Chains A and B, each alone.
Chain A
Amino acid sequence: MTDLTSKPKLAKLFRLQYEEAQGAYVLLYPEGMVKLNQPASEILKRCDGERDVNAIVADIEQAFNAQGLEKDVTGFLEIATERGWVV
């Protein structure tokens, strides 16, 4: 379970950047790359080590003009943590 007061940040091994040619954000790491969908990139952009999960959820809900996205955000963060993208 994701602690809502934790402050996730991108792991040192990864770099997040927008790629014009792919029209998408990608995660770059040694000799590899993951293409991200829009929700994933919107969440990862906010993993700056300063905002806690509550703040990220609120931010995303505002950006997408929607409510009740906590489960989507924490679900993705769990996968991202498991893969070592965020710490």
Chain B
Amino acid sequence: MSEQANMANIAPPLWLLAEVTYRCPLHCVFCYNPVKYAANKKELSTEQWKEVLRQARKLGAAQLGFSGGEPLVRDDLEELIGEAHQLGYYTNLITSGVGLTEARISKMKELGLDHIQLSFQDSTKEMNDFLSSTKTFDLKSRVAALIKKYDYPMVLNVVLHRYNLDHIGRIVDMAVEMGVEYLELANTQYYAWASINREQLMPTREQLVRAEEIVQEYRAKLGNKLKLLFVVPDLFEDKPKACMNGWGSVFLAVAADGSALPCHAAQSLSGLTFPNVTEQLLHDIWYKSDAFNAFRGYEWMKEPCRTCSEKEKDFGGCRCQAYALTGDARNADPVCGKSPSHDVVKQIVLQTKNRPVEEKPLVFRNDMNSLRLAAEVEKQTS
């Protein structure tokens, strides 16, 4: 196919996720940042980020998420928000709340920030503070009140796992009290730090079923007052998720060091080199790079995906999960009941029944653990 014909088949990106830094005051055990983040502390400058914003907007991105790490650790965040607003983005700040003072929140409102997503780890101070290895519950509660005081729409995000699934009713109550518009109950996806802690974090099926029933009851009771999004934990399913709505289809992430990624977990895939925005134009990265074209369309697929009637619905599931659990990113996501490796997933779920097989300490996301884990991988592969 000629390059032009090929480009005509590629839709523009709609979402830009700007992971402006990997620095973070929290140490969450399910963090999705690369396990090896501490080995590379390079960050784009203010000007470089502005250029990324301009180029991505020109390509067609309309939604912009400022994320990290904790984006508030960058003191040029306000400047970037101002630039993004002028370019016409809908700007979302995805934050732990640490560093969100009244002065900053009011300045961001003035500069055109549209929405704030605040994360909590639990409805209880003890669990929130334990899982993030910080004392942040009270601070987060104050930030939630500030977000409402400044009249931002607010999404409350809580990552779910076996330590907090049984608190789900109280978590919803907390969201109602805060007056948030959306509550995202996101069951842990087992990538990066969460995959290291998978055995400890995986809930039982019974916990999940009960939690989902409680969410349904609240949905019926609350109606439009609070939108409840329940992200199902795909390991318990036999249909894969339509990950990223297809590789290189709508989503473009730029990591702290300028690596452009079709998915924020993509750096876990070996064998792909991700282009850097300091070396190439985003236009060329999106339309022409090997990394963004690697899993576009259906040509790359193996059986059973290649001839599957559902390939246009689920795109074969998640590449990172296929790679992590089968060793080949082109395989079907083993969550799929049709995957020859589906047993691997069944085994993982089965293990939750036989707990405690072995209670291990949780591995917190911090520089020390990151450097240690990176060195271990190095040793295994050399």
Residues of chain A having any CB pair with chain B under 8 Å: 12-13, 15, 17, 19-22, 26, 28-33, 84
Contact = CB atoms under 8 A, between A and B. Distances in A.
Contacts of A20: 60
A29 B224 CA distance: 15
Contact of A28 (B63, B181, B224): B63
Contact of A30 (B12, B14, B114): B114
A9 to B, nearest CB: 16
Nearest to B61: A21
Nearest to A27: B90
A13 B60 CA distance: 22
Contacts of B14: 33
A59 B14 CA distance: 32
Given A12-B153, A17-B88, A30 B59 contact: no
A13 B153 contact: yes
A84 B181 CA distance: 11
A30 B182 contact: yes
Interface in B177-204: 181-182
Given A15-B90, A15-B114, A21-B12, A30 B62 contact: no
Given A13-B153, A21-B12, A84-B224, A28 B60 contact: no
Contact of B62 (A12, A13, A19, A84): A19
Contact of B60 (A15, A19, A32): A19
A84 B12 CA distance: 28
A84 B223 CA distance: 11
B65 A13 contact: no
A31 B153 contact: no
Contacts of B154: 30
A80 to B, nearest CB: 13
Contacts of B153: 12-13, 29-30
A30 B88 contact: no
Contacts of B224: 84
Residue from the set B14, B60, B62, B92 with the largest chain A CB neighbour count within 10 Å: B62
B117 interface: yes
B155 interface: yes
B115 interface: yes
Interface string B107-146: 0000000110100000000000000000000000000000
Contacts of B62: 17, 19, 26, 28, 33
A49 to B, nearest CB: 17
A30 B181 contact: yes
Interface in B73-108: 88, 90, 92
A28 B89 CA distance: 9
Contacts of A30: 92, 114-115, 117, 153-155, 181-182
Contact of B63 (A13, A21, A31): A31
Contacts of A33: 14, 62-63, 90
Contacts of B182: 30
Interface string B164-184: 000000000000000001100
Nearest 6 pairs of A and B residues by beta carbon: A21-B60, A28-B90, A30-B115, A21-B12, A13-B153, A30-B153
A21 B15 CA distance: 13
Contacts of B115: 29-31
A15 B90 CA distance: 8
Given A28-B63, A30-B114, 18 more contacts: A17-B62, A20-B60, A21-B12, A22-B12, A22-B60, A28-B62, A28-B90, A29-B90, A29-B153, A30-B92, A30-B115, A30-B153, A30-B155, A30-B181, A30-B182, A31-B63, A33-B62, A33-B63
A26 B14 CA distance: 11
A17 B90 CA distance: 10
16 contacts: A15-B114, A17-B88, A19-B60, A19-B62, A21-B59, A21-B60, A22-B60, A26-B62, A28-B90, A30-B92, A30-B154, A30-B182, A31-B63, A31-B115, A33-B14, A84-B224
